[in-house]
């Protein structure tokens, strides 16, 4: 098997972990060939912490044109993901982007089109798709064991963040630099899981988001959204970085049972018959379908970045299907854009959102911002154990 020569652009929190992963040989069939960063301290870190013959570039054009890489992992700030991916595709490179796919769907639609035209392997780092816990949930739903969906609830307030996290970088938690807060950063994985496990996308959203409710930031750190789907399915999505201790709970209700995931424990409440059938046939006044509580012993594995990268490399070399196709990135972004737009307009919005309208409203946020961070530390944080 030939070796895939990989470059990493962006050597911040996540980029550093990819550099270490590749340099230490944790990805079979791949080698770290080059990195690109304009940050002198991060370049010094690469020089001090890599063992192979790693080329270092400060300019993205030179990086893509002269590094000799076959594929690139893009771990730069959010706005640049589509731009850099399109540059890579135009030069015949395979691409893995960090989440999110981008900040606004207009940009991401163009990226997806470029990926399709290039024919290259395109992945996105939705690492939770490799988690056996969520794979089991998806299997239970796809196999019909919980029947027709009725309701989905997802509460994700587990990723508590202190002020020092937001102060670690000038671009973080700003409209111009990051394009949002908890929705676009911490909770984008859970938004992806909401649609990936169930196989359905909302048709409309009504949401409330609070800007800087718990932190000195200009973007949202607390969100509640009501979701409506086809066939009468409803849902509630809650996310925050200001609750301690936080909650991570996922409920999916069907007419033949209910799945509950909390504290990484999976419980299936299985009905003996369809609730809809029972409702029509039972004549006793008070009663409910018989059910049994099944604890499903699935080991949750939250890291999984290695699995997604390995799968991407094997898709390049062997044509294996991707666990996390890059084109799927627009789905979670579509939901998050819908939540933002609903909260900005203070009204229900339909999906897919108008990409031009969303971009227009986002530009207003950026261009009218007067927010200035008071204490920026320019710190690269260790992300181990945070996902």
Q: Domain range spanning residue 192? A: 129-301+332-367
Asked if 297 and 313 sit in the same domain, the reply is no
**364: number of Cβ within 10 Å:** 12
Asked if 10 and 67 sit in the same domain, the reply is yes
Residue 247 lies in a domain: yes
Tens digit of each residue's pLDDT (9 = 90 or more) over 46-58 = 999 999 799 999 9
- First vs last C-alpha separation in the chain: 32
Residue 376 lies in a domain: no
Asked if 349 and 221 sit in the same domain, the reply is yes
**Measured between alpha carbons, how far is 251 from 261 in angstroms, rounded to an integer?**
7
Tens digit of each residue's pLDDT (9 = 90 or more) over 180-197 = 999 999 999 999 999 999
Q: Residue 105: which residues within 8 A CB-CB, separation 6 or more? A: 330, 333, 334, 337, 352, 353, 355, 358
Asked if 24 and 164 sit in the same domain, the reply is no
Please check the confidence at residue 217 and state whether its pLDDT lies above 60: yes
Asked if 63 and 190 sit in the same domain, the reply is no
Question: How large a percentage of the chain has pLDDT more than 90?
Answer: 91
Asked if 218 and 349 sit in the same domain, the reply is yes
Structure tokens at 359: 């971009």
Asked if 150 and 31 sit in the same domain, the reply is no
What are the angstrom distances between the C-alpha of 247 and each of 211, 250, 262, 357? 20, 10, 8, 33
Residue 375 lies in a domain: no
How many structural domains compose the chain? Answer: 2
Q: What is the mean pLDDT of residues 334-363?
A: 97
Q: How confident is the model at residue 300 (pLDDT cuts 50, 70, 90)?
A: confident
Asked if 295 and 337 sit in the same domain, the reply is yes
**Measured between alpha carbons, how far is 323 from 303 in angstroms, rounded to an integer?**
15
Please check the confidence at residue 373 and state whether its pLDDT lies above 90: no
Please check the confidence at residue 387 and state whether its pLDDT lies above 70: no
Residue 109 lies in a domain: yes
Residue 18 lies in a domain: yes
Q: What is the mean pLDDT of residues 345-351?
A: 98
SS3 of residue 346 by DSSP: coil
Asked if 78 and 184 sit in the same domain, the reply is no
Residue found under tokens 């970088």: 169
Asked if 260 and 308 sit in the same domain, the reply is no
Question: pTM, whole model, 2 decimals?
Answer: 0.93
**Measured between alpha carbons, how far is 17 from 99 in angstroms, rounded to an integer?**
14
104 in Cβ contact with 82 (< 8 Å)? no
78 in Cβ contact with 10 (< 8 Å)? no
Q: What is the CATH number of the domain that holds 312?
A: 3.40.50.720
Tens digit of each residue's pLDDT (9 = 90 or more) over 116-149 = 999 999 999 999 999 999 999 999 999 999 999 9
Please check the confidence at residue 13 and state whether its pLDDT lies above 90: no
Q: What is the CATH number of the domain that holds 187?
A: 3.30.360.10
């Amino acid at each position: 098997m030939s070796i895939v020569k990989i470059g990493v652009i962006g050597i911040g929190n996540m980029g550093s972990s990819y550099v270490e992963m590749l340099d230490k040989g944790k990805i079979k069939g791949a080698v770290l060939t080059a990195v690109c960063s304009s940050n002198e301290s991060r370049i010094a870190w690469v020089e001090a912490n890599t063992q192979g013959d790693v080329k270092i570039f400060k300019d993205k054009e030179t990086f893509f044109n002269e590094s000799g890489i076959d594929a690139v992992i893009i771990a730069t700030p959010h706005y640049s993901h589509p731009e850099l991916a399109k540059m890579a595709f135009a030069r015949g490179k395979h691409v893995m982007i960090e989440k999110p796919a981008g900040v606004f769907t207009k940009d991401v639609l163009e990226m997806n089109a470029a990926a399709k035209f290039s024919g290259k392997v395109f992945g996105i780092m939705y690492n939770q798709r490799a988690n056996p816990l969520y794979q089991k949930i998806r299997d239970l739903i796809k196999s019909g064991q919980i029947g027709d969906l009725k309701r989905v609830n997802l509460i994700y307030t587990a990723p508590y963040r202190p002020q020092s996290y937001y102060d670690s970088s000038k671009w973080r938690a700003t409209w111009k630099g990051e394009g949002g807060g908890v929705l676009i950063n911490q909770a984008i994985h859970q938004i992806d899981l909401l649609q990936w496990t169930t196989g359905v996308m909302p048709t409309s959203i009504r949401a409330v988001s609070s800007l800087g409710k718990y932190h000195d930031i200009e973007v949202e750190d607390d969100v509640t959204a009501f979701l409506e789907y086809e066939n009468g399915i409803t849902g509630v999505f809650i996310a925050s970085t200001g609750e301690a201790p936080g909650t991570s709970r996922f409920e999916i209700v069907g007419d033949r049972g209910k799945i509950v995931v909390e504290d990484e424990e999976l419980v299936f409440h299985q009905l003996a018959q369809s609730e809809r059938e029972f409702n029509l046939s039972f004549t006793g006044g008070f009663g409910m379908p018989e059910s049994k509580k099944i604890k499903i012993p699935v080991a949750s594995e939250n890291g999984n970045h290695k699995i997604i990268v390995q799968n991407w490399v094997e898709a390049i070399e062997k044509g294996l299907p991707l666990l996390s196709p890059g084109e799927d990135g627009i789905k979670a972004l579509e939901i998050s854009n819908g939540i933002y737009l609903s909260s900005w307009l203070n009204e229900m919005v339909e999906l897919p959102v108008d990409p031009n309208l969303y971009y227009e409203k986002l530009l207003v946020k950026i261009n009218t911002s007067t927010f200035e961070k008071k204490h920026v530390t320019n710190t690269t944080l260790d992300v181990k154990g945070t996902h």
